[in-house]
Amino acid sequence: MVRRIASGVLRRLPSYFVSDDLIGDGCVGLLRALDSFDPSYGVSFDAWASRIIRGAMFNGLRRMDAIPERTRRDARMLDAARWSLAQTKGAAPDDHAAAAGAGLTADKLGAVQLALLRATPVSLDAALPGSPCGSTVGERVAATTDDPADVAARRDIERTVGAAVRALSAREQLIIAACYAGSSTFREVGGRLGISKQRVSQIHSRTLTGLRTVLAQHAD
């Protein structure tokens, strides 16, 4: 029964839908029908269950839909108004005229158009509109990760700077680490080393000068 109902619903859906999702939701509806059926209702189990199964499938489709049901309803009203005006005037109306015929405001018209645009599937292998080089949509999709070239360059810089810092004396390393990794002040660093903040400042300036000299060799 579930498979038969799923086949009937599937014929009304776009080609990218598959029966597995419908059957899964339909089985949930079947269990609900089994729990709620009572022979005293005077209807057959098939008639009782088929309605609940079909409703469960439709609810599952609504959950998968990226567009809210209210927006879908506005879109149907817009299409109906466009068709009615075309029959009356003998020419296809523009979007604003159709929206006026459907009783939709300009804001609702924009919301419907944006929602339908976002929900339209686009193949990543499709040619990018207006691209003279024949680039595909997939080639222009922004990556969620950093550019590999940037990552490699940053790691190279980190290795170079790390080697230069490790070549410093223990006190110089502590001052650099405390100032730039620990966000400590010169006074706090001096308290840890038992020297004045002026002396920490001198060592800090001298250390940075030395690091700049060493790193200048890797400027390229």
| Model pTM above 0.85 | no
The whole-number pLDDT of residue 219 equals 66
Alpha helices (H) along the chain: 2-10, 19-36, 45-64, 69-89, 95-102, 106-119, 137-140, 148-166, 170-180, 186-193, 197-216
**d(Cα 182, Cα 13) in Å, to the nearest integer?**
60
Parse the chain into domains and list their residue ranges: 2-64, 69-140, 148-216
DSSP state of 41: G
Q: What CATH code would you report for 148-216?
A: 1.10.10.10
Q: Which CATH number fits domain 2-64: 3.40.50.300, 1.10.3720.10, 1.10.1740.10, 1.10.260.40?
A: 1.10.1740.10
Q: What are phi and psi of 161, to 5 degrees?
A: -65, -40
Summarised one tens digit per residue, pLDDT across range 31-86 is 999 999 998 888 999 999 999 999 999 998 888 777 777 888 888 888 898 888 88
Q: DSSP string covering 109-158, please?
A: HHHHHHHHHHHS---TTSBPTT-TT--BHHHHSPPSS--HHHHHHHHHHH
